Amino acid sequence: MITYGEDYFGLPIGISTEKEGLGQPLFYWDPLNPPRGGLNFYEGDLLAGSQGDLLASELSGQVLVRLDVEGDAIVGEKRLFAGQLGRVPDVKVGPDEAIYLITDEDNSRLIPVAPKGSRDPVADLTD
């Protein structure tokens, strides 16, 4: 019902940004565009210090966004892989606790992301 979102033409989505009885978001992007893709919490132990952080893929910005979550607040934002992998429509956490990015370029890839010191890491999310 309420949102700060905009459609592809810049028009507001929803009826308003507030309504009596409904709370405000803990976090939203400003500016609201570019379009987001997948969203996942990281609950594993493989990436030390990342437990509870939120991972968001971004389509046109071609990045993975790591939101540092503490309690019920977003206290930091880190943009990773800017322009390196192409569009990233989704991010998943595997049963091995690794993070997997899905790209939609001509040669679509499932890219594992591992912590520093791991065998063949694509990047280190703990920096």
> When comparing pLDDT for 83 and 69, which is higher?
69
The span from the CA of 17 to the CA of 1, in Å, is 9
- For 93, the token pair is 């956490």
Which among 68, 49, 74 is positioned nearest to 126, based on CA atoms? 49
- How many whole angstroms separate alpha carbon 63 and alpha carbon 15? 30
pLDDT at 112: 66
Mean pLDDT of 29-47: 76
Of residues 86 and 30, more confidently modeled: 86
pLDDT at residue 53, as a whole number: 92
Asked whether the predicted pLDDT for residue 18 surpasses 90, the reply is yes
Report field, pTM of the whole predicted structure over 0.85? no
